[in-house]
Structure 1
Amino acid sequence: MRVTLEKDFGFEAAQQLPSFPEGHKCRRLHGHSFQVRVAVTGEVDPASGILYDHARISRAIEPLLAQLDHRLLNEIPGLENPTIESMARWFWERLEPLLPGLSRITICETPQVRCHYDGPSRS
């Protein structure tokens, strides 16, 4: 049986988006209560009845969240222009080696705005 397991995490952080035009509100310093959803896809182990122990996902992401929580994202290497698109890629690059079957990273900066990243193009 093939399934996708998702687990949600949150962190608080400030950001400025220097690539936005002068006068744009997102170019100014502001903060969000970010939500990160990590999805892994694969076959359920018939013996255990699960794909992953949820704690495995938590162990992989917790050090990353510690780097970001209550920080200015622009100061984090790789997030100098911390759009949700670049944040999704940043998480992917760090989690993919730790979580076989990683299939999607979703970053929500508000309840209405999110970015899904399914990994680098395989073409």
Structure 2
Amino acid sequence: MEIYKEFSFDSAHFLPNVPEGHKCKNMHGHTYKLKVFVAGEVHPHYGWIMDFKELKDAIAPLIDQLDHKLINDIPGLENPTAENITIWIWNRLNPLVPQLSRIELYETPTTGVIYNGK
């Protein structure tokens, strides 16, 4: 079984490695939506896979690093494509939430990335 929790953050970025003339080479912003999925067995006593508050507490420091920031200034995110942001989040969250099964990052309501660590 999987559970999920949604988060959002607002950030600016630019993509330094896209061709000249590409509009994403200019600084711009997004309201990102992040869905974090956790898989496992339902605990027989508590009746849940994981406490949603525990999940919120684990992701909060990462959201704080991203929210209302220029993502390019964050170490490891100098080329902040949606794919690279997703990997960055995964690599920091996975040690804190070993049952992490996938994350989805929506850059816009119609575009995003799904990542399961592979």
Superposed pair shares fold, TM > 0.5: yes
**1:50-75 Cα distance to aligned partner (Å, 9 max, x none):** 00100011101100111111110000
What amino acid is the match of 2:70? Answer: L
Q: Quick one: which amino acid aligns to residue 59 of structure 2? A: I
**1:100 deviation in Å?**
1.7
Separation of aligned partners in 1, 2:69 and 2:115: 23
- 2:40 is matched with 42
- 2:56 is aligned, of 32, 55, 58, to 58
Quote how far apart the aligned CAs of 1:48 are: 1.1
Cα distance in 1 for partners of 2:115, 2:17 equals 20
Q: How does 1:67-78 map to 2 (within 5 A)?
A: 67-78=65-76
SS in 2 for 1:74: helix
Secondary structure at the aligned position of 1:21 is classed as: coil
Distance 2:117 2:9 in 1: 22
Count of paired positions: 118
Given candidates 102, 109, 112, the residue that maps to 1:111 is 109
Amino acid at match of 1:119: G
1:47, distance to aligned residue in structure 2 (A): 1.2
| In structure 2, C-alpha distance between the alignment counterparts of 1:71 and 1:82, rounded to whole Å | 12
- The amino acid that maps onto 1:43 is E
State the partner residue of 2:29: 31
Segments of structure 1 that go 5 or more residues without pairing to the other structure are none
Structural RMSD (CA)? 0.6
Aligned residue for 1:86, secondary structure, equals helix
Moved over 3 A (4+): none
Cα distance, 1:30 vs. partner? 0.3
**Counterpart for residue 102 of structure 1:** 100
Equivalent-residue separation in structure 2 for 1:42 and 1:118 (angstroms) = 14
1:88, distance to aligned residue in structure 2 (A): 0.7
TM normalised by structure 2 equals: 0.98
